[in-house]
């Protein structure tokens, strides 16, 4: 009997502010629905990340949670797992700490894990809060949707490429891209949880681990996507109506 696919949920008590722990649940369940044995490993903040997992999931958190998490990850276990070809999916704060540097709430610069060629400082304008819609660069994923809530601006270096081209929302803060892809590391600002709202993205990550997958009936997931697309469209129309003013009469 083959060993189960192991999904490591990294520090969910501090990197799980916006329900991102649900991403690990989605990955595990989509394997089980296909008859593939899988298990979720909750990695506590006082424990080292297991290097024998197959896929690692990091979520969002506050500034203090970021600095605590990156200090715990400084033992190099996650870096060694990536060097061994393991896949990582990171969201928001998890994304930022995988970069070269990030800022805390007081503006102090902290070193990240260096798994993504990027640096995070602060957005020039207000905090990015609201629906985020984009087109993913990953094969077979297509349009992605989620909820962003962050004050960071992430600038990618030449070794990283954007995870998605932004159609609506802020993303990395450059008005063009969201997240990053570098080797086996995929990162984004999408909450939701992202993989519940984007099953094609979940399967794209799983294919990196187990190869080709049998199709699933995603009718309920697709209905959720249609509802979110409609909500984004309504929000755009509402903003346009509030901003539009009729021309002055001559």
Query: Is 191 designated active site?
Result: yes
E strand intervals along 92-184: 101-103, 109-111, 118-122, 128-136, 143-150, 152-156, 164-168, 177-178, 180-182
List the one residue out of 19, 57, 13 whose CA is nearest residue 209.
57
Among 47, 92, 110, 118, the active-site one is 92
Round to the nearest angstrom and report the end-to-end CA distance of the chain.
81
Contact 65, 58 (CB under 8 A): no
> Per this entry, what is the length of the chain?
250
List the one residue out of 81, 125, 117 whose CA is nearest residue 99.
117
Query: Is 110 designated active site?
Result: no
Catalytic residues, by residue number, are 92, 191
């Amino acid at each position: 009997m083959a060993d189960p696919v192991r999904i490591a949920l990294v520090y969910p008590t501090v990197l799980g502010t916006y329900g991102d722990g649900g991403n690990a649940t989605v990955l595990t369940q989509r394997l089980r629905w296909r008859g593939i044995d899988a298990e979720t490993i909750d990695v506590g903040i006082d424990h080292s990340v297991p290097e024998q997992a197959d896929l690692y999931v990091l979520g969002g958190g506050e500034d203090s949670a970021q600095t605590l998490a990156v200090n715990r990850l400084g033992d190099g276990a996650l870096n060694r797992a990536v060097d061994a070809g393991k896949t990582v999916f990171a969201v928001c704060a998890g994304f930022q700490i995988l970069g070269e540097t990030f800022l805390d709430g007081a503006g102090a610069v902290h070193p990240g894990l260096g798994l993504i060629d990027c640096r995070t400082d602060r957005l020039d304008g207000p905090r990015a809060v609201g629906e985020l819609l984009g087109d993913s660069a990953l094969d077979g994923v297509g349009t992605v949707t989620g909820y962003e809530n962050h004050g960071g601006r992430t600038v990618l270096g030449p070794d990283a490429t954007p995870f998605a081209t932004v159609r609506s929302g802020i993303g990395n803060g450059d008005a063009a891209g969201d997240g990053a892809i570098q080797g086996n590391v995929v990162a984004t600002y999408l909450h939701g949880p992202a993989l519940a709202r984007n099953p094609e993205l979940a399967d794209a990550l799983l294919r990196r681990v187990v190869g080709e997958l049998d199709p699933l009936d995603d009718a309920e997931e697709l209905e959720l996507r249609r509802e979110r697309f409609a909500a984004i469209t309504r929000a755009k129309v509402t903003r346009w109506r509030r901003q539009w003013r009729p021309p002055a009469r001559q």
